[in-house]
Amino acid sequence: MPAGRTYTDSDAAHHAPPALDQLRRLPRQFYGQPVLEVARASVGKLLVHHRRGRTLVGRIVETEAYRGPEDLAAHSAGGRRTPRNEAMWGPPGHAYVFFVYGMHWHLNLVAGLDGEPHAVLIRGVEPLLGVELMARRRKMTADRRELTNGPGKLCVAFGIDRRHDGVDLTGSSGLYLADAPATRVVTARRVGIDYAGAWAKRRWRFLEPGNRYVSRPPEGRLRGA
């Protein structure tokens, strides 16, 4: 597909649903890498949520890195440590889930070294398993790309909210990332952070080009990660 075109429902992305007994939870070492690397390497990995006997799986197709305290777009900018963003300072491999705009939850992966307030925002996933439940929660049919093509939308589809803030993804929690084959990844500017000045220009958004569950296509020529 040409760069810059808006994705449509006809841009079918079809990856096979995984066998449940072969899901391999990613270890803490994965999250302990530098945050830009975690953001890049998370594209293609599986987001898994077991809850009440049901399993939801999505393939991560878009992420963003936030690297406080120097990154002025991060909630941890300037070393500002509050109850809300406390999870960012903890050990890697935990979830940082926050509420914005009075109605939306966003899911992040805490990355980097313990004490470094870095995180990776999950901005888009391709539904692989449990699609009907996602569709009910999103109040739309299962064939729509709007099911999970944004950070707030995928949290609704996966039932992620304040209960998941601070959860250890590498322990026994029902929420975790599972390994999957690497895929093509390109970079783009981050979304919705124009207040961050020069930091808004960093190409710290990572996505699988052409996948219809990417929230917005990158501008201009595609640049590899």
Partner DNA sequence: AGGAAGATCCGCT
Partner DNA sequence: GCGGATCTTCCTG
Please, which residue, 23 or 177, has the CB nearer to DNA? 177
What Å distances lie between residue 91 and 47, 84, 127, 176, 217, CA to CA? 19, 16, 28, 15, 32
Prior bond to 91 cis, omega within 30? no
69 binds DNA (CB under 7 A): no
119 binds DNA (CB under 7 A): yes
State the Cα–Cα distance between residues 7 and 99, nearest whole angstrom.
27
State the Cα–Cα distance between residues 67 and 105, nearest whole angstrom.
20
- Least distance from DNA to the Cβ atom of residue 20, Å: 27
DSSP classification of residue 63:
E
153 binds DNA (CB under 7 A): yes
151 binds DNA (CB under 7 A): yes
Neighbours of 166 (CB within 10 A): 14
The one segment of 21-29, 31-39, 66-74, 167-175 that binds DNA by CB under 7 A = 66-74
75 binds DNA (CB under 7 A): yes
152 binds DNA (CB under 7 A): yes
85 binds DNA (CB under 7 A): yes
Q: In 3-state terms, the chain is what percent helix, strand and coil (to 5)?
A: 25, 25, 50
**Positions in the binding site for DNA (CB under 7 A):** 64, 66, 73-76, 80, 82-85, 88, 96, 99-104, 106, 108, 119, 121, 138, 146, 150-153, 191-193, 195, 215
